[in-house]
């Protein structure tokens, strides 16, 4: 196929009735007939960074990064150039994709041939197109006019996608700004939900669906899955996005102050109430109130929250005047509220009022396909915080991450990656690549996929009114033993070592607590 036919083919792909993601991948495939690359990426300009929107031949970790122009001289040169740039094979400038080629098990390979094209529309930079090859002379003899024409088509595709997204949101959400601005705002406020697995795709569809309503949403999920991110995404996609999103951690509310914190108080209503004060419901009027850890809300306050949800009215502590509020409530919990209702620790009527639209967030072990992308993102964050050179994950490190069960979910993954990057960087000269291997992860991620033994901090369980000290202590012991066993795959001997106990003593304790203890034989 000659160059003209290839360009016509690219244009046909871009006008086909497919999603933007499909069109971008087709563009890269068609580009291969012009540029014999081993890896290529289409990147979109967002503020001062380039963000991948499509790639061929690059590892999933490469897609989870934001390439700040000031940190990547090759990309900065490409973006400032008026035409495609072919870098010399012996250039000393670091390649942003070095070690990120798909299948590069050692994660240390040096890319030799590098081509970059700025993507502009009417002189405005909208992104970049890059191509890399292992062979140093792979791009010699390329017709740069044809490459430039292909880049122009790619720029038109990026801009068209931006305009279409902006128009769709304008019509659906009555004046929402362009998708680029929305995405920037989400990133700045920590609302970006990372993941392309089927489980996360379903969650994002559910968020988009329920965000258009004013339904009360109950976000369910284990610790560390990102329930707050889901709440922020719900607010950002709703008609209330220009109004405040107010966060309340119900677990941190003392019972004596919980009512005043939520509903406000008037001067002199209790000791210390020196002035009138609005509560969180008033502050969130017109917007969204996010009640995190709703399962920890004191029982005494629950009837007042129920009234606020049912009637749309609140009453400040010490006042006899009701106030109307227009608040959408989003709640989150890692507890089984139905079981809490049966145990008498949560009101049934409040549970049903909150559970209008339950939104479960999948644990990380149910979306392992997202681990490379998440780990790549966290590596890049750690690199920036620590001021390091490139940080990469070797294939055996990705395998170790994939085998682990992640009881702490995404939060645990981020913490593990951050401390492993810190430890690994200690033995690497400043500015040199930091390559993370399975050996670096051994202290944090065991080969069996369960957490490495170590001390753990277990929060005390909620205590129902009237519970005696003895009953509360037994419940705490029961929860601690159960969590430790779960962290060691049900292995009582390993759990005993972690708790600093003799195995026989742990068996005796388990029987006293009513736990199922295996026979010793």
Residue 503 — pLDDT band, cuts 50, 70, 90?
Answer: confident
The architecture of the domain spanning 3-168 is 2-Layer Sandwich (3.30)
Q: Which CATH code, of 3.40.190.10, 3.40.640.10, 1.10.3720.10, 3.40.50.300, is assigned to 198-360? A: 3.40.50.300
CB–CB of 235/348 below 8 Å? no
Q: Which pair of structure tokens corresponds to residue 317? A: 């502590």
Cβ of 137: how many Cβ atoms within 10 Å? 10
| pLDDT number for residue 18 | 58
Residue 360 — pLDDT band, cuts 50, 70, 90?
Answer: very high
CA dist list (Å): 454 to 355, 420, 440, 496 = 37, 16, 17, 11
Burial 404-435 (b: 16+ CB within 10 A, else e): bbbbbbbebbbebbbebbeebbeeeeeeebbb
Residue 313 DSSP symbol: E
367-441: CATH number: 1.10.8.60
| pLDDT number for residue 2 | 59
Of the candidates 31, 418, 377, the one whose C-alpha atom is nearest the C-alpha of residue 193 is: 377
pLDDT tens digits, residue range 319-353?
A: 878 888 999 999 999 999 999 999 999 999 999 99
Residue 518 — pLDDT band, cuts 50, 70, 90?
Answer: confident
| pLDDT number for residue 189 | 41
| pLDDT number for residue 247 | 92
Convert 138-178 into a string of H (helix), E (strand) and C (coil): CCCCCCHHHHHHHHHHHHHHHHHHHHHHHHHHHHHHCCCCC
CB–CB of 97/62 below 8 Å? yes
User: Is pLDDT at 150 greater than 90 in this prediction?
Assistant: no
Determine whether domain 459-521 maps to CATH 3.30.70.1350. Answer: no
3-state helix, strand, coil in the chain (%, to 5): 45, 15, 40
| Ramachandran angles phi, psi of 158, nearest 5° | -60, -45
Residue 459 DSSP symbol: P
Q: What is the C-alpha separation between 48 and 521, in angstroms, rounded?
A: 65
User: Is pLDDT at 471 greater than 90 in this prediction?
Assistant: no
Q: Cα(first)–Cα(last) distance of the chain, in Å?
A: 74
- Same fold? 367-441, 459-521: no
| Whole-number average pLDDT of the chain | 83
Q: Which of 145-149, 186-190, 225-229 has the lowest mean pLDDT?
A: 186-190
- Average pLDDT over every residue of 266-289: 84
Q: Where are the domains of the chain?
A: 3-168, 198-360, 367-441, 459-521
Q: At what angle do helices 255-263 and 302-311 cross, to 10 degrees?
A: 20
User: Is pLDDT at 450 greater than 70 in this prediction?
Assistant: no
More reliable by pLDDT, 459 or 5: 5
User: Is pLDDT at 312 greater than 70 in this prediction?
Assistant: yes
- Average pLDDT over every residue of 169-196: 48
More reliable by pLDDT, 256 or 147: 147
- Average pLDDT over every residue of 244-272: 85
CA dist list (Å): 111 to 273, 511, 519 = 66, 61, 59
Percent of the chain with pLDDT strictly greater than 70: 83
The CA-based angle 439-194-395, given to 5 degrees, is 25
pLDDT tens digits, residue range 4-54?
A: 566 656 665 555 545 667 778 887 888 888 888 989 999 989 888 998 988
Q: Which of 7-16, 168-177, 316-325, 458-467 has the lowest mean pLDDT?
A: 168-177
More reliable by pLDDT, 500 or 326: 326
Q: Which residues, at least 6 apart from 455, have a Cβ–Cβ distance to it below 8 Å?
A: 498
CA dist list (Å): 393 to 324, 377, 387, 390, 420 = 54, 11, 17, 10, 11
- Average pLDDT over every residue of 268-277: 77
Strand locations in 64-207 (E): 67-68, 85-87, 113-121, 124-133
Residue 168 — pLDDT band, cuts 50, 70, 90?
Answer: low
Between the CA atoms of 436, 438, 440 and 444, what dihedral angle is there, to the nearest 10 degrees? 120
Cβ of 439: how many Cβ atoms within 10 Å? 12
């Amino acid at each position: 196929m000659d160059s003209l036919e290839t360009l016509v083919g690219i244009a046909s792909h871009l006008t086909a009735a497919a999603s933007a993601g499909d069109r971008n991948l087709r563009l890269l495939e068609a580009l291969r007939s012009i540029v014999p690359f081993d890896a290529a990426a289409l990147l979109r300009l967002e503020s001062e960074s380039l963000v991948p929107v499509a790639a061929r031949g690059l590892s999933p970790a490469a897609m989870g990064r934001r390439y700040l122009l000031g940190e990547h001289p090759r990309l900065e040169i490409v973006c400032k150039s008026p035409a495609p740039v072919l870098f010399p094979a012996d250039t000393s400038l670091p390649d942003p994709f070095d070690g990120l080629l798909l299948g590069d098990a050692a994660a240390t390979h040096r890319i030799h041939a590098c081509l970059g094209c700025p993507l502009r529309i009417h002189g405005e930079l909208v992104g970049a197109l890059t191509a890399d090859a292992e062979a140093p002379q792979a791009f010699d003899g390329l017709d740069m006019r044809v490459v430039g024409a292909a880049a122009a088509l790619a720029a038109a595709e990026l801009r068209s996608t931006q305009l279409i997204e902006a128009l769709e949101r304008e019509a659906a959400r009555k004046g929402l700004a362009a998708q680029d601005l929305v995405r920037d705002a989400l990133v700045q406020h920590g609302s970006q939900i990372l993941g392309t697995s089927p489980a996360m795709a379903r969650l994002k569809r559910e968020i988009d669906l329920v965000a258009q309503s004013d339904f009360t949403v109950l976000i369910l999920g284990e610790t560390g899955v990102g329930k707050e991110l889901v709440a922020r995404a719900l607010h950002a996609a709703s008609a209330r996005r220009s109004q405040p999103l107010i966060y309340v951690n119900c677990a941190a509310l003392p019972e004596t102050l919980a009512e005043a914190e939520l509903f406000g108080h008037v001067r002199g209503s209790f000791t210390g109430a020196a002035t009138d004060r609005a509560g969180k419901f008033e502050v969130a009027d017109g917007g969204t109130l996010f009640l995190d850890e709703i399962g920890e809300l004191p029982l005494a306050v629950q009837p007042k929250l129920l009234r606020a949800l049912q009637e749309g009215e609140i009453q400040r502590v010490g006042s006899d005047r009701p106030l109307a509020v227009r608040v959408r409530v989003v709640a989150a919990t890692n507890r089984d509220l139905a079981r809490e209702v049966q145990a008498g620790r949560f009101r049934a009527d409040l549970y049903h009022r909150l559970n209008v639209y339950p939104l479960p967030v999948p644990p990380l072990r149910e979306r392992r396909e997202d681990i490379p992308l998440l780990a790549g993102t966290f590596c890049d964050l750690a690199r920036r915080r620590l001021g390091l050179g490139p940080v990469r994950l070797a294939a055996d490190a990705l395998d170790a991450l994939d085998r682990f069960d992640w009881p702490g979910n995404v939060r645990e993954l981020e913490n593990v990656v951050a401390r492993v990057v810190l430890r690994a960087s200690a033995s690497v000269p400043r500015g040199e690549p930091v390559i993370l291997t399975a050996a670096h992860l051994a202290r944090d991620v065991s080969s069996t996929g369960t957490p490495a033994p170590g001390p753990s901090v277990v929060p005390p369980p909620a205590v129902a009114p009237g519970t005696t000290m003895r009953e509360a202590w037994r419940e705490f012991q029961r929860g601690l033993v159960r969590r430790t066993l779960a962290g060691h795959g049900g292995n009582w001997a390993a759990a005993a070592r972690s708790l600093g106990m003799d195995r026989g003593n742990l068996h005796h304790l388990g029987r006293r607590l009513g736990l199922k203890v295996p026979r010793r034989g």
